[in-house]
């Protein structure tokens, strides 16, 4: 391809509305352009990258025995009513009506559609297992799209769905996909970590995420997830799912008797601990949440943080938020109190579910709110002064230096970009939608399902996050839009132009994806653009051509060598 004809506009400056480096670079280098909030045009260079990623995914999925198909982007509400998700998926589901007033939605994921395909097409266990996948645009009306391609509303995704006769089969299908995913990301030039995760709105039991770790000290960290991992064994998990063994801390408040004392203006744990001159580990913190519209009081040791996803899962909820002040007032009034946040406790509260984190069990002679403003109960003990809640669960956020549940070593935390996700769905959708097959014993059974996603456009953006420098992108070879760019330094030097054209034509003839910068630009412009766009190899034809030498530059490490044109061609063909 000739640069003079290539549809690309590089910008001299970074776009003002971009925050993370992949967004900045992809816009500045002319790969993408925003159409509207969270929705991007994929320009020719970007489309080539995306097709590269797609093809790697295709090859590995096909090799793993999956079959590609394509489902509609627009889906009827009926299927979502059947699965029960029409009412629980929330505002992220882009709903619309057709001219007859019939409710439809833009596909954010395709469990419903694939399940309808399976129940029509699969009648017998003899047809199982089967794994079907597609590569397609998805639309999720995200609350806050950001970070360019990392969190768009419209994005390209590969989604696969497996159908098995039993759990054992699902385990196998799951393992095959995990293997395929490792191959895919490795081929894309991305190091990933497979971590345990919460299964969220998709549903199901077991799930893992594939994270590109990006824990660099960069000021704009694109990693939206905290990943906890063990420094010794292989344990790793998303913060919304991670568990740990706590280090020993003081849990005895050492108060000689239980009494309610004045603790003015101690709205936070820090203020309270400072006022009483005690460690925060002998305080029982009480927080009121709203889960699917119902009030929940969560108790946790003062030094720890509630992990909201874990808490929500205790109640199998879909939506969680901390209660507003007016809601707290309402709860207090209903129980005959008037305490504000900071002085709340479980004793005497009515019409509210109470759940305690495991950390509060061992507290002795501790401090807790008593629903009176500017007062706390000190020296409290479970069963004597306050009832220990019946519902006890792990609802805490793991922290760095907690101990690994598998081996006891220290846990560390790092930021990650989630590029892939695999779930064991089980029968969630097949039961709800009555999707069954006839098993060997002649009985009708629901399919045992799994689902497996990869963010294609996110993967490409993650590659930029991992592979770039101050001059621009450094594409991994496997997903670069072109492999090599030939740059004649001066378009007025006939020899340079002639040699450059020869190299270009020879590479073209050898089916190499090659660009030639035949624009009538100064050398600086051409070299800057080549670096910015991030083509893995550059062959620069300059003055040294009189000695039959060209410059061979490897973008990955910015190394340069002077070699002959023939050697340069041979080098490319050997890669």
Partner RNA sequence: CGGGAUGUAGCGCAGCUUGGUAGCGCACUUCGCUUGGGACGAAGGGGUCGCACGUUCGAAUCGUGUCAUCCCGACCA
30 binds RNA (CB under 7 A): no
- Region from 112-120, 142-150, 272-280, 382-390 binding RNA, contact rule CB under 7 A: 142-150
- Give least dist CB 366 to RNA, A: 27
Of 128 and 184, nearer to RNA (C-beta) is 184
Of 188 and 367, nearer to RNA (C-beta) is 188
**Tokens 């849990």 belong to which residue?**
251
111 binds RNA (CB under 7 A): no
- Region from 120-128, 266-274, 394-402, 412-420 binding RNA, contact rule CB under 7 A: 412-420
Closest CA to 344 of 270, 272, 288, 269: 288
37 binds RNA (CB under 7 A): yes
Q: Of residues 65-104, which lie at the interface with RNA (CB under 7 A)?
A: 92
How far, in Å, CA of 209 to CA of 195, rounded?
Answer: 5
Of 195 and 283, nearer to RNA (C-beta) is 195
Residue 206 · residue 452 · CB < 8 Å: no
What track of x and - describes contact with RNA for positions 218 through 247 (by CB under 7 A)? ------xx----------------------
Among 5, 12, 350, 443, binds RNA (CB under 7 A): 12
**Tokens 């360019």 belong to which residue?**
148
- Region from 94-102, 153-161, 381-389, 436-444 binding RNA, contact rule CB under 7 A: 153-161
Of 225 and 251, nearer to RNA (C-beta) is 225
DSSP string of 452-516, one letter each residue: EEEEHHHHHHHHHHHSEETTEE---GGG-S-SEEEEES-TT-HHHHHHHHHHHHHHHHTT--EEE
Measured CA distances, 483 to 9, 224, 538 (Å):
19, 31, 9
9 binds RNA (CB under 7 A): yes
Among 8, 34, 103, 393, binds RNA (CB under 7 A): 34
Q: Of residues 324-353, which lie at the interface with RNA (CB under 7 A)?
A: none
Among 15, 44, 84, 476, binds RNA (CB under 7 A): 15
3-state helix, strand, coil in the chain (%, to 5): 30, 30, 40
Q: Of residues 456-495, which lie at the interface with RNA (CB under 7 A)?
A: 457-458, 471, 489-493
Please give the angle made by the CA atoms of 368, 374 and 378, to the nearest 5 degrees.
30
How far, in Å, CA of 559 to CA of 229, rounded?
Answer: 35
Structure tokens at 164: 């098995």
Partners of residue 307 on adjacent β-strands: none
- Give least dist CB 210 to RNA, A: 7
How far, in Å, CA of 157 to CA of 419, rounded?
Answer: 10
**Tokens 């039993």 belong to which residue?**
166
Write the CB contacts of 366 (distance below 8 Å, at least 6 apart in sequence): 251, 252, 253, 282, 283, 284, 378, 379, 380, 381
- Give least dist CB 417 to RNA, A: 9
- Region from 197-205, 261-269, 285-293, 567-575 binding RNA, contact rule CB under 7 A: 197-205
Helix (H, G, I), strand (E, B) or coil at 254: coil
Among 157, 278, 339, 433, binds RNA (CB under 7 A): 157
- Give least dist CB 142 to RNA, A: 5
Of 148 and 253, nearer to RNA (C-beta) is 148
b/e 506-542 (16+ beta carbons within 10 angstroms → b): bbeeeebebbbbbbebeeeebbbbbbbbbbbbbbbbb
419 binds RNA (CB under 7 A): yes
- Give least dist CB 233 to RNA, A: 24
Instruction: Give the binding-site size for RNA (rule: CB under 7 A).
Output: 77
Of 357 and 531, nearer to RNA (C-beta) is 531
Of 317 and 345, nearer to RNA (C-beta) is 317
373 binds RNA (CB under 7 A): no
- Region from 60-68, 263-271, 272-280, 305-313 binding RNA, contact rule CB under 7 A: 305-313
Of 154 and 385, nearer to RNA (C-beta) is 154
- Region from 139-147, 258-266, 277-285, 292-300 binding RNA, contact rule CB under 7 A: 139-147
Partners of residue 195 on adjacent β-strands: 209
Q: Of residues 421-450, which lie at the interface with RNA (CB under 7 A)?
A: 421
11 binds RNA (CB under 7 A): yes
Q: Of residues 538-567, which lie at the interface with RNA (CB under 7 A)?
A: 540-544, 550-551, 553, 560
- Region from 33-41, 94-102, 260-268, 337-345 binding RNA, contact rule CB under 7 A: 33-41
Write the CB contacts of 441 (distance below 8 Å, at least 6 apart in sequence): none
- Region from 7-15, 80-88, 163-171, 477-485 binding RNA, contact rule CB under 7 A: 7-15
Spell out where 390-467 has E strands.
Answer: 392-393, 411-426, 436-438, 444-446, 448-455
- Region from 6-14, 336-344, 382-390, 435-443 binding RNA, contact rule CB under 7 A: 6-14
Q: Angle formed by the axes of helices 494-509 and 565-574, to 10°?
A: 30
Please give the angle made by the CA atoms of 140, 145 and 146, to the nearest 5 degrees.
145
- Give least dist CB 323 to RNA, A: 13
Q: Of residues 494-523, which lie at the interface with RNA (CB under 7 A)?
A: 520-523
Spell out where 263-404 has E strands.
Answer: 283-291, 294-301, 320-322, 353-357, 366-369, 375-380, 392-393
- Give least dist CB 13 to RNA, A: 4
């Amino acid at each position: 391809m000739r640069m003079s004809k290539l549809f690309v506009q590089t910008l001299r400056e970074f776009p003002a509305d971009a925050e993370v480096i992949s967004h900045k670079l992809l816009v500045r280098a002319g790969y993408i352009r925003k159409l509207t909030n969270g929705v991007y045009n994929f320009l020719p260079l970007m489309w080539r990258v995306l097709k590269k990623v797609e093809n790697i995914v295709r090859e590995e999925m096909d090799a793993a025995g999956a079959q590609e198909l394509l489902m509609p982007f627009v889906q009827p509400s009926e299927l979502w009513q059947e699965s029960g998700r029409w009412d629980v998926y929330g505002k992220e589901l882009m709903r619309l009506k057709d001219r007859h007033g019939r409710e439809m939605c833009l596909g954010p994921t395709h469990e419903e559609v694939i399940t309808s395909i399976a129940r029509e097409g699969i009648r017998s266990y003899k047809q199982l297992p089967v794994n079907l996948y597609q590569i397609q645009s998805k639309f999720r009306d995200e609350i806050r799209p950001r970070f360019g391609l990392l969190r768009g509303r419209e994005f390209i995704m590969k989604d696969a769905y497996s159908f098995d006769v039993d759990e054992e089969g699902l385990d196998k299908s799951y393992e095959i996909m995990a293997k395929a995913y490792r191959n895919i990301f490795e081929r894309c030039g991305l190091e990933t970590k497979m971590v345990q995760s919460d299964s969220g709105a998709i549903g199901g039991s077991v799930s893992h995420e594939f994270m590109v770790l990006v824990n660099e000290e960069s000021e704009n960290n694109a990693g939206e997830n905290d990943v906890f991992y063990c420094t010794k064994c292989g344990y790793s998990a998303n913060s919304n799912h991670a568990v740990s063994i706590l280090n020993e801390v003081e849990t005895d408040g050492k108060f000689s008797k239980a009494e309610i004392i004045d603790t003015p203006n101690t709205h936070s744990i820090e203020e309270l601990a400072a006022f009483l001159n005690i460690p925060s580990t002998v305080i029982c913190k009480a927080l009121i949440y709203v889960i699917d519209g119902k009030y929940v009081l969560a108790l946790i040791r003062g030094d720890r943080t509630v992990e909201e996803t874990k808490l929500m899962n205790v109640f199998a909820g879909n939506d969680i938020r901390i209660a507003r002040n007016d809601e707290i007032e309402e709860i207090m009034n209903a129980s005959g109190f008037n305490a504000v946040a900071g002085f709340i406790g479980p004793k005497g509260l009515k019409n509210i579910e109470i759940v305690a984190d495991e950390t509060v069990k061992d507290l002795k002679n501790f401090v807790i709110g008593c629903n009176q403003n500017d007062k706390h109960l000190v020296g409290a003990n479970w069963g004597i002064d306050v009832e220990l809640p019946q519902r006890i669960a792990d609802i805490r956020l793991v922290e760095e230096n907690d101990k690994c549940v598998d081996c006891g070593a220290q846990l560390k935390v790092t930021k990650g970009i989630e590029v892939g996700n695999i779930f064991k769905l089980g029968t969630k959708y097949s039961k709800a939608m009555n999707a069954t097959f006839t098993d060997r014993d002649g009985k009708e059974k629901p399919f045992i399902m799994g689902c497996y996603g990869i963010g294609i456009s996110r993967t490409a953006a993650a590659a930029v996050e991992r592979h770039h420098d101050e001059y621009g992108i450094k594409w991994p070879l496997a997903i670069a839009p072109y492999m090599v760019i030939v740059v004649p330094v001066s378009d007025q030097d006939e020899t340079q132009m002639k040699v450059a054209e020869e190299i270009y034509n020879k590479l073209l003839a050898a089916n190499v994806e090659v660009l030639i910068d035949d624009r009538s630009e100064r050398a600086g412009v051409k070299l800057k653009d080549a670096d910015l766009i991030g083509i893995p190899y550059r062959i620069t034809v300059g003055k040294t051509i009189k000695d039959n030498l060209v410059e061979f530059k490897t973008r990955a490490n910015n190394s340069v060598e002077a070699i002959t044109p023939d050697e340069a061609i041979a080098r490319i063909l050997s890669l």
